[in-house]
Structure 1
């Protein structure tokens, strides 16, 4: 704690057990400084570590949302949480000489996010007397995150179906009986990060290639309905 008398160590200060990052802060420099302090001192900045200490471990750090940029009102994309994490990783590496090791990473493009979405969709379907979902359509505006994540999930579904083994994230969900999809299609829309007139999709990276590209979400929904044998949607 800092006061007019200078730095005061609070003997009752309880060390921080872990760091959880849910989104980019308003004041990056202050947050970066505090997080680095906690990582370098096992959660207790009052105790400065010995420079001779070769210990590489740090307190647990959990993060989500690796989107480097997102689309806003400005002409150019804005820095997202992924940009903040990049700064954090670089600072920690340059200061400590070690790589920052995340205890867990959740959110897109990691499988648990897609499994959770499928679980909720299946619960809604069953509550309304519908059959379980066999095919998932994922709509996103960012090829590097949304489309990569959807394609990875589709690959995971194919592996699971072919090997008849369970998906690794099952144990993290309340009930795996709600995971029934066999296929996941990725639909890229042009109303966000991806702008077809300004950028091209890396054709050499199959993970970034969407199943189809649509102008906006409405066109994506019409495509889904058409694929699900709703021909009347063509006239909408």
Structure 2
């Protein structure tokens, strides 16, 4: 499962013409196949009409002019072959290679209501839907300090759009950690795999391992709060003699993660199935978070020396960045899970 995997359930956008931003084989990613555990076969992820940033800049070569070497040598009329993205949507998979190109063309599409070849005569607001995946501001690579992630690209896009229009960029959905919709989708996959393996008892406890307190740990703790709220609501309904499905029927829900638009979608199943009791967060010290660099004493929490690196649409709750456990690396985290479950790793 990747940050964009939950896009499969956003079926209302699958037949639209979508502009996708990212790097690598974004068309293949948007149209990729997945294994449907219910149908026992390969099904389409969903997006059927994909336009890439490269396709857009080739159709409208006068839009991308920051790099003088990429400017057209002569005036080229816009292509008539590219379908307008008017009334359609923009999907942001991850950080692109040429930020200036993607930022310029995405803003062009938003300002012109999907017709980037037209002049901007007035602000179209609300703009066409935007779905963003992967909100991590920073990520750890081989360098000694974290690198910019897609969350940083979103900060740039939001700032540019706000500066030009005076309006906040609106997201139809925010997908990926720490959004609850991502963890609900992961729970669905775990449940389907358990059923495929013939397990008769539901999974009771989940463990989320990560190196980023602001994304991995925040999201896991947020999902744990979500589980507790659902169980509390279910208990109250049962006490009143109602059905568990009344808690939030058919698995439609408003996210409890304080994000304005993390997405309200059908994840699958209903609340009649038993949700996990808890989701514990395990922080490893080999990535964004480094225990030695933080120089924290055992009495200090992970968050005392931090500012919020989460997305704009999430309210900062410092307690949610405090992990259930802190271990050195993923191997130690896996051993911890086995210990918590009373099993041996060997």
Q: Same fold (TM over 0.5)?
A: yes
Matched, 1:58 2:153: no
SS at match of 1:6: coil
User: How many matched pairs?
Assistant: 231
Give the distance between the partners of 1:100 and 1:156, measured in 2 at CA: 26
Query: Relative to 1, partners in 2 of residues 1:90 and 1:101: Cα closer, same or farther, differing over 3 Å?
Result: same
SS at match of 2:127: coil
Superposed, 1:127-138 pairs within 5 Å as 127-130=196-199, 131-138=201-208
Give the distance between the partners of 1:194 and 1:146, measured in 2 at CA: 11
Matched, 1:197 2:268: no
Give the distance between the partners of 2:94 and 2:273, measured in 1 at CA: 29
- Unmatched tracts of structure 1, length 5 or more: none
8 Å contact 2:204–2:276 — kept in the other structure? yes
8 Å contact 1:67–1:145 — kept in the other structure? yes
Matched, 1:214 2:331: no
Cα displacement (A) at 1:153: 0.4
Superposed, 1:144-163 pairs within 5 Å as 144-163=214-233
Give the distance between the partners of 1:141 and 1:13, measured in 2 at CA: 42
SS at match of 1:72: coil
Stretch deviating more after TM superposition (132-141 or 173-182):
173-182
Cα displacement (A) at 1:18: 1.3
Matched, 1:75 2:144: yes
8 Å contact 2:113–2:124 — kept in the other structure? no
SS at match of 1:87: helix
What does residue 224 of structure 1 align with?
337
Give the distance between the partners of 1:171 and 1:11, measured in 2 at CA: 35
8 Å contact 2:112–2:124 — kept in the other structure? no
Stretch deviating more after TM superposition (105-114 or 196-205):
196-205
Cα displacement (A) at 1:186: 0.5
What does residue 94 of structure 2 align with?
23
What does residue 307 of structure 2 align with?
none
What does residue 170 of structure 2 align with?
101
TM-score, normalised on structure 1?
Answer: 0.90
What does residue 110 of structure 1 align with?
179
Cα displacement (A) at 1:210: 0.4
Give the distance between the partners of 1:39 and 1:218, measured in 2 at CA: 45
Superposed, 1:181-196 pairs within 5 Å as 181-196=276-291
Alignment RMSD (CA, Å): 2.1
Cα displacement (A) at 1:5: 4.0
8 Å contact 2:188–2:268 — kept in the other structure? no
- Unmatched tracts of structure 2, length 5 or more: 1-59, 62-71, 235-246, 255-263, 297-301, 305-316
8 Å contact 1:141–1:192 — kept in the other structure? yes
8 Å contact 1:119–1:179 — kept in the other structure? no
